Chain A
Amino acid sequence: MFPGEFEYHAPETIEEALDLLSRHGSDAKLLAGGHSLIPMMKLRLASSQHLVDLKNLKSSLSYIREENGDLAIGALTTHTEVEVSESLQQKAAPLAEAAGLIGDVQVRNMGTLGGSLAHADPAADQPAPALALEAQLVAQGPGGRRTIPADQFFFGFFATALQQDELLVEVRVAGLGANSGGAYLKVPHPASGYAVCGVAAVVETDGGGNCVKCRVGVTGISDGAYRATGVESALEGSAISADAIAAASAHATDGVEPLDDYFAGADYRRALAATYVKRALTTASERAGG
């Protein structure tokens, strides 16, 4: 299978890439690791007259930096780099764990964090930890940079808040501190490896066994990743216990219309979401301690 024809661009700077986006509008597509886009182009589900390859921006957009306990991750950082990063494993475990569960080794060597978020596949892994960690997504456009909170970034099926002339350049998360813990758990589709259900949970306690803050991101279940706010408000302010977690998990799909396909029906997806929210909250609480 071959992609359709296109004109190839490999800009040397972010500004050049933005200029190409401005000039070609909807006729241009950005290529990062290409492990979502190229398969779609081969199947002719995606096409573009202008393909803008970001490989020359690796030197400026591939990094994991720690600043005052916060983490800044360049958009072109690969899943492998996220997976093995000790600072992410320690301070943003859901991101590192999700990265390690994406596709397979070869896919993780090419695929990028920014590419995965900007593509917004409803079964992609990284949107869930981005939501649970309240990531700030930094987009650069012709007018400069702006920051988009993760819960205002995903708009369902392959849709994000990014404008046509913007490039996602960085992902920022506040590192998890003392009394905080996070986890990502997933049910992969046995053939594709995509998430049938993926749940990222972050729990912060008061050190005395009470939940002061809880964030839950869910992917694979509906047409886009979402924050399970019903779960969060049910657990926040409560003493953490198996019963409290189970009761909160019952809200995993409140207000959500689950996908319904031949592999996983809507009822099954609802059950998976509740079960995996429960498990992710349990692990996150254990890691939070107290």
Chain B
Amino acid sequence: MAQVSIEVRVNGSTYRKEVEPRLLLVHLLRDVLGLTGTHVGCDTSSCGACTVLLGGLAVKSCTLLAVQADGAEITTVEGLATNGDLHAVQEGFWEEHGLQCGFCTPGFLMATVQLLERNPDPGDAEIRHALEGNLCRCTGYQHIVNAVQNAAGKLREAAS
């Protein structure tokens, strides 16, 4: 089958690639661009480990074709820190121990970035609702909620 030429901007860098149309976005990121921070968990759009931001929206990259992202701006977990300084969401997860094994963490971080953009001061129930699309098999959800609250506080402080 014919390859398709695509151009994506990932974490500020532009990439032009010839890809098979059936290549999934998560495999473009991991296998073609070498950005292995985005994880493949369930591979069935349930667990959210593969969450990235596509045009600012949290999406599950195992359920998108790379060709659908042609021309788009993508942010992966590698794009959160700037010049070695962790993003407030990363700091929040670190300080509140919002992870155990860490496998699901990149997806939680990306979903949290969108959550706090949409709602800078969420309640615990709102956090749990907004992170419904992400599963943590260590089941450390309470720490994750604490981490999001911590990050929300940092971001609000930075904005004020």
Contacts and interface: CB of A to CB of B under 8 A. Distances in A.
A and B physically associate: yes
A39 B46 CA distance: 10
Interface stretch (B58-66, B77-85, B92-100, B144-152): B58-66
B48 to A, nearest CB: 6
B138 interface: no
B91 interface: no
Contacts of B63: 34-35, 38-39, 110
Given A2-B22, A10-B67, A34-B63, A104 B43 contact: no
A174 to B, nearest CB: 31
Contact of B111 (A4, A35, A53, A106): A106
A55 interface: yes
A4 B63 CA distance: 14
Contacts of A2: 22-24
Given A7-B2, A8-B4, A106 B65 contact: no
A259 interface: no
Given A38-B64, A55-B68, A7 B1 contact: yes
A192 B114 CA distance: 22
A103 interface: yes
A5 B4 CA distance: 13
Interface residues of B, number: 32
Contacts of B4: 8
Contact of A105 (B1, B22, B58, B65): B58
A6 B1 contact: yes
Contacts of A41: 22
Interface in A238-269: none
A269 to B, nearest CB: 23
B130 interface: yes
A39 B63 CA distance: 7
Interface in A44-86: 51, 53, 55, 80
A126 to B, nearest CB: 18
A3 interface: yes
Nearest to A51: B21
B45 interface: yes
A107 interface: yes
Interface string A81-123: 0000000000000000000000111110110000000000000
A95 B111 CA distance: 25
Given A38-B63, A105-B130, A110-B63, A6 B22 contact: yes
Contacts of B67: 8, 10, 53
A55 B1 CA distance: 21
Contacts of A55: 68
A7 to B, nearest CB: 6
A191 B1 contact: no
Given A5-B1, A51-B21, A53-B65, 11 more contacts: A6-B22, A8-B4, A34-B68, A38-B63, A38-B65, A39-B45, A41-B22, A42-B43, A53-B67, A106-B60, A107-B45
Interface of A: 1-8, 10, 31, 34-35, 38-39, 41-43, 51, 53, 55, 80, 103-107, 109-110, 191-193
17 contacts: A8-B2, A8-B67, A38-B64, A39-B63, A80-B57, A104-B132, A105-B111, A105-B114, A105-B132, A106-B45, A106-B51, A106-B58, A106-B133, A107-B60, A110-B57, A110-B59, A110-B63
